[in-house]
Amino acid sequence: MNRDRAPRRRRADIEILEPAASLTAEEYALFAQIGQQRRVEPGEKLFRRGDLGTTMYVIAQGSVDLDFGDDLVAKRLGAREFFGELGLLIGDHARSADATVSSPGMLVELRQQEFETLVERDPRLLAHFLRRAIMRVVLNEQSLIGRLRRRNLDLQTALDTLRATTHRLTQTEELTRTDELTGLANRRGFHLHLQQRRRTDEQPGRGLLLIDCDRFKNINDDHGHLVGDRVLQGVANILRSAAGPDDIACRLGGDEFCLMIKGEHRDDVMRVAEFITTTAHALHEMQPSPPQIATLSVGACLVSPDTEWDDWYALADAALYRAKRLGGNRVEWQDDALAPA
C-alpha cells in the first residue's frame, strides 16, 4: 500500500510545481456549477488597475485582455483561464491590471459566498487549486520583478549613455570656445563671455588690455615654433595669474592676447597691466636658453558699456601700437578720444 501511494504523491507534487493559468476539467466543472454566469461584449471593462476587487473570474467562452501598464507585457486569456483570484482570496485587493473583454463570451464570477460553497463542496479540489494559484501569483511576481529590473537596467544604461553624450557635447562645446594651445578662451569664447557678462553684470565698470609679444617672430625664426608655443603658454600663465574671478583672459590669435578686467578707474586697470609687463620682464631677464617668455607690450583703456567691442578694441589697439612703436616692454594708456597716430 505504501508503494502504491508514493508515486501518486510524486505526481501530485509535479502538478503543483507546474502551476497552470487555466482550470482543469474537474475544477472548471465545479466552478461553473457554483459561480454566477455573466455574458460580456467586446470593449466591456471588467475592472481598472488600482480598483479594489473581491471577485474572481473564469472565462467560459471568448477572451479577456489584461493590461498591466508601465510598458509591461499584456496578456490575452481564453477559455478556462482565470484571473482576479487575489481579489477573492485577499478581499479588497487593488487590481494590478486593466481587464477588458476582447471578444464576445461568457464569464463565471465567483465571490466570497461562492468561495465558501466551494470549500464545503470539494475542499480537496479547492486546496489543490489554491496551491497552484498561489504558486502562479508568486511566479508572476518574480517575473514582474525580473522585468522591472531589466527595464531599470535598460533605463540606467540609457541614462549613462545620455550622460556620456552630454559630456562629449560639453567637451566639444568647450573646445569651440577654448584655445587649444594655451587653454585660454579663444576669440569666439571671449565674445560669448562678453555677451553673458553684459546681460548679468550689475557693475559694468571694465578695463581692456591688449597684450602683444615683443619680437615674437625672431623667437620663432631663431628657435623654432615649439619654443614659440612655449612662450605663448608662458604669457597665458601670466594672464591667468593676473586675472580675477570675474575677468576674462583670451588669446585672440597668433601672439596677440587680451584681458578684460573689472575696474572703474584708470589706476585699477594700470595696476594689472603693470603687473603683467613687470612679471614678463623679470622672467625674460633670467635669460634661459631657449627663451621661455618674451617681454610684452600692453595697450590699456576703460570700457564704456554704451559702446561695442570694435570701439573698445580700437582704443586699446591704438595704445598697443604706441607701446610697440616706443620699443615695447611697456604699457600705454588710451582715453576715449583716440590720439592721432
DSSP-derived letter for residue 69 is -
Q: Where are the beta strands (DSSP E) in the chain?
A: 36-40, 45-47, 52-53, 56-67, 75-77, 82-83, 93-94, 98-110, 206-213, 248-253, 256-262, 296-303, 330-333
**Every domain of the chain and the residues it spans:** 2-147, 187-333
Print pLDDT tens along the chain (341 aa). 444 444 443 333 333 333 447 898 999 999 999 999 999 999 999 999 889 988 999 999 999 999 988 766 788 999 999 998 888 777 777 888 899 999 999 999 999 889 889 888 888 888 888 888 888 777 777 777 777 787 788 778 877 777 776 666 666 566 578 898 999 999 988 888 888 777 666 556 789 999 999 999 999 999 999 999 999 999 999 999 999 888 999 999 999 999 999 888 899 999 999 999 999 999 999 877 889 999 999 999 998 877 888 899 999 999 999 999 999 999 999 987 554 44
Q: Is the bond preceding 290 in cis, omega lying within 30 degrees of 0?
A: yes
DSSP string covering 203-221, please? Answer: S--EEEEEEEETTHHHHHH
User: 2-147, which class in CATH?
Assistant: mainly beta
- Longest alpha-carbon distance in the chain: 125
The CATH number fitting domain 187-333, selected from 3.30.70.270, 2.50.20.10, 3.40.50.150, 3.10.450.50: 3.30.70.270
